[in-house]
Amino acid sequence: MLEQLRRVERLRKGGHVEEALALLHALAADFPRDARLQLELGLTQAIGRRAPEQALPHYSAALALAPAMLSVRLHRAVALAALGRHEEALQDLSALHAAHYRNAAVVHLLRAGSLEALGQLSGAEAAWTAAAAADPHSPWLLEQRARVRLQQGRGREALADLDAAVRLSGTELPDPELLRDRGRLLLTLGAPAQAGADFEAALTALGDSEEPLTQELRALRSALPGR
């Protein structure tokens, strides 16, 4: 069985999704009580075929066979969210949280995404806060909380998040996208000089690159008052 599952993984990675599915269906017919096979069928549908709706019955079957298999519940929550079924996704994520799933940051960030989709910004902000507490070295999580706080009209708190995110991204060459976002926010808060400093620092971090972000930053710099 283990060798067959390794073969499934090789087939999936090689883009031979239909062959992987055929092998899994044959294995599942021989071992109908094996939850791993149902999980692999779901993953192959969701990842290989990008068909989360077809993955759901396999995830549910795996959970029926092995209710304590928390990774299945996580994958089902992702599939449900991809289909816009956020309330159902939140039920799975709440169950994972109650069971102390090992990757708390992932559970919280998925909860935040579903809560945002449902328009529950206060709950989403709390979920991003929990995710940042679980993974305090991630500037991306702070950036997401800043985005939600901006939607709530809380610009100063969003700025504090972006300040912390820029520090976490590196002191010598911080993330240019973070600098751009902080510069834009500073502009709206009436601090064009500080915004200009962020745009300049972002351009320095990009060096001689001519990617779209460089052009955007130059346009932002040119539009500053006094230019």
Say yes or no: 39 and 70 in one domain. yes
Question: How far does Cα 136 stand from its chain's mean position?
Answer: 16
Place of tokens 């976002």: 181
Instruction: Write down which residue in 81, 112, 142 finishes a domain.
Output: 81
Say yes or no: 212 and 198 in one domain. yes
Average pLDDT over residues 24-50: 95
Q: Is residue 12 domain-resident?
A: yes
Model pLDDT, residue 209:
82
Summarised one tens digit per residue, pLDDT across range 156-212 is 999 999 999 999 998 677 899 999 999 999 999 999 999 999 999 999 999 888 889
Whole-prediction pTM: 0.90
Mean pLDDT of the chain: 95
Average pLDDT over residues 79-90: 98
Say yes or no: 109 and 122 in one domain. yes
Average pLDDT over residues 21-49: 95
- Spatial CA neighbour of 201 closest among 226, 178, 168, 227: 178
Average pLDDT over residues 69-90: 98
Instruction: Write down which residue in 46, 81, 116 finishes a domain.
Output: 81
Range of the domain at 70: 1-81
Yes or no: say if 152 and 178 are a contact pair by the CB < 8 Å rule. Answer: no
Say yes or no: 6 and 21 in one domain. yes
Query: What CATH number is associated with residue 22?
Result: 1.25.40.10
Summarised one tens digit per residue, pLDDT across range 145-159 is 999 999 999 999 999
Summarised one tens digit per residue, pLDDT across range 114-137 is 999 999 999 999 999 999 999 999
Say yes or no: 141 and 213 in one domain. no
**CA separation for the pair 154, 42 (Å, rounded):** 41
User: Which of 16-20, 37-41, 206-210 has the least mean pLDDT?
Assistant: 206-210
Instruction: Write down which residue in 147, 169, 191 finishes a domain.
Output: 169
Model pLDDT, residue 210:
84
